Amino acid sequence: MAHQVLIIDDDEIALFLHEIVITDCGLSSTPKTFTSAELALLYLDDHQNIAGHYLIFLDINMPKMDGWEFAEQIKTHPLREQISVIMVSSSVEKKDRERALSSEVISDYMIKPLKEHQVLMLQEQAKFNAFFKG
């Protein structure tokens, strides 16, 4: 069963930095990056028949479909049980953190840019252990 890490952010610099942090931490050697939530959703739709688990690092503020809308789409997605979402945002607003953590599909909330210690803390949660290589 494959374990894939997806990073969704409309900011190409953030995508690049987050990809480096995720790779350096051993979470994934080949995270998939998407500049829009729509593209990531299409990717998940195309992989419905492939056994696997997905850990998604999701930005909030994006054009067209934002992170909240993406999370709503995941609630009814056929892969729902195989998807874990971590909201990653530059917002330090308490209401955004509370909204994310009250969502049934969002597992955690991290302030961007991602830092190694944030990603490494995921190893402490059993549901994320299999994503870490080695």
pLDDT in tens, 24-42: 999 999 999 999 999 999 9
Average pLDDT for the chain? 93
Q: What is the pLDDT of residue 119?
A: 95
Average of pLDDT values for 102-119? 95
> Which residues have a Cβ under 8 Å from the Cβ of 34 and sit 6 or more positions away?
6, 7, 8, 9, 40, 43
d(C-alpha 134, C-alpha 118), whole Å:
19
d(C-alpha 83, C-alpha 92), whole Å:
25
Q: What is the pLDDT of residue 1?
A: 56
Question: What domains are defined for the chain?
Answer: 2-119 (3.40.50.2300)
Secondary structure element (H or E) that encloses residue 21, with its range:
helix 12-24
Global pTM reads 0.95
